[in-house]
Amino acid sequence: MKIEKLPQEFVQAQPILATLEQAGYEAYFVGGSVRDTLLGAPIHDVDIASSAFPEEVKALFNRTVDTGIQHGTVMVLDHGEGYEITTFRTESTYTDFRRPDSVTFVRSLSEDLKRRDFTINALAMRHDGEVVDLFDGLSDMTNGIIRAVGDAETRFTEDALRMMRALRFSAQLGFRIADDTRQALRDLAPNLTRIAVERIRVEFEKMLMGGNAAESLKLALDDGVINYLPGEPLKIWDNIIQHLATHQPADTFAVWSLVLAETDLTSSQINRFLRNWKLSRETITTVMTVVPLVRQIDKVSTFDLYQALPYQKTLFELLTLLDISNATIEQIRHIIDMLPITNSSELAIQGGDLIREGVMMPGPKLGQCLKKIEYAVVNGELENTRESLIQYAKEQVNDDN
């Protein structure tokens, strides 16, 4: 098969392949960029595999960076772009279920491709667009199948994360997982506990954001994969699957908000769950702000919504994911739209104004007074004008005295 019209990203990289080929080496485009081109999807990084060994690559190009030379990868800098060229290689055993204990550079494309995870990712492409398919990846792509290259148990034993990648690709592409590959996934799922949480998290998040997320999550649940993921066991995966059937999260904030919104976990348990997944402080803060609001959305106050303004994108997305009625969502949106201020800096006075006016001295009571002013303005109890706020502050001082 030949791709007649190559995306511009490949065209720009063709001189790299030409240089390698003119020096007598083989060179191919490989990996996700080839797969995505065949699927009609946007491509990102253009990766190149070659029979040239790292030192041979470096001898051919003026500007190179040793990005992973121990694994055979050298980055070539050309016209403002960086292209990673990786030497054909074979790999030894994987003691840690993640990295090969050693790699051996080879001159054979087939030896290199047969170590890759799935047939749809084991495609190579020549500079002219001719696709090299040694493992029926094109057929699997046409039939919508995620299939391990060679023996699935071997591939998953080499790197247990490949099981999560199978689920993720299934969710993103809407492909089914081949029977033998799925059986290996069932059998070897316990090995996921040996994989770094951060690596699992990335694949899990991508899976839940995929268009076929409901089916992939159901498969993970049915096959027991879910039991070997980080965090406390949850009882509401079936609910999440139902929500994912109609809507998918647009970002990771929404992913984790959806996962936890309908659990019975307390605030401290939610915090621990998110920390076990090694999520960022920003994600934890977002989820722990939005989830309590949604749990009591019928009773939420104006000031609660005001405090949640920095997280309103996630709030509205979660309401949609949970199939909250449009009437309720519009009511929440109306309350937010009608807020007189969006943060305390928009108050007509600040602490310095009260000090200069001689109303209050610096100290804790000043901060407490400003909080009361902010609360009253947000709730529509106080007009946000300088005169009104100073008068209110004076009344607070008199009340305290």
pLDDT at 7: 94
32 is in an annotated binding site: yes
The model's confidence at residue 44, banded by pLDDT at 50, 70 and 90, is confident
Mean pLDDT across the chain: 95
For residues 309 and 316, is the Cβ–Cβ distance under 8 A? no
For residues 204 and 238, is the Cβ–Cβ distance under 8 A? no
pLDDT at 401: 64
pLDDT at 103: 86
pLDDT at 196: 94
Per-residue pLDDT of 289-335, as tens digits, reads 999 999 999 999 999 999 999 999 999 999 999 999 999 999 999 99
192: pLDDT strictly greater than 90:
yes
CA distance 227 to 311: 31
323 is in an annotated binding site: no
For strands 145-146 and 131-133, give the pairing: unpaired
Residue 102 token pair: 């050693």
CA distance 111 to 115: 7
116 is in an annotated binding site: yes
pLDDT at 231: 85
Higher-pLDDT residue of 235, 189: 189
Per-residue pLDDT of 103-137, as tens digits, reads 899 999 999 999 999 999 999 999 999 999 999 99
Nearest residue to 73 via CA among 114, 37, 92, 45 = 45
Residue 39 token pair: 């699927």
For the chain, percent of residues with pLDDT exceeding 70 = 98
**Crossing angle, helix 252-261 and helix 281-295, to 10 degrees?**
40
pLDDT at 110: 96
Residue 228 token pair: 């070997």
162 is in an annotated binding site: yes
143: pLDDT strictly greater than 90:
yes
* b/e burial code for range 184-218 (CB count within 10 A of at least 16 → b): bbeebbebbeebebebbbbbbbbbbbbebbbbbbb
Looking at residue 100, the DSSP 8-state letter turns out to be -
93: pLDDT strictly greater than 80:
no
133 is in an annotated binding site: no
pLDDT at 97: 65
The whole-number average pLDDT for the span 254-279 is: 96
The whole-number average pLDDT for the span 339-345 is: 97
For strands 176-177 and 145-146, give the pairing: parallel
400 is in an annotated binding site: no
194 is in an annotated binding site: no
Tracing tokens 């609360």 back to the chain, one arrives at 375
pLDDT at 96: 65
pTM for the structure as a whole: 0.91
For residues 317 and 248, is the Cβ–Cβ distance under 8 A? no
Helices marked H in 247-325 — which ranges? 252-261, 267-276, 281-295, 302-307, 312-321
The whole-number average pLDDT for the span 5-28 is: 96
32: pLDDT strictly greater than 90:
yes
The model's confidence at residue 52, banded by pLDDT at 50, 70 and 90, is very high
Residue 55 token pair: 């030192």
pLDDT at 397: 85
186 is in an annotated binding site: no
201 is in an annotated binding site: no
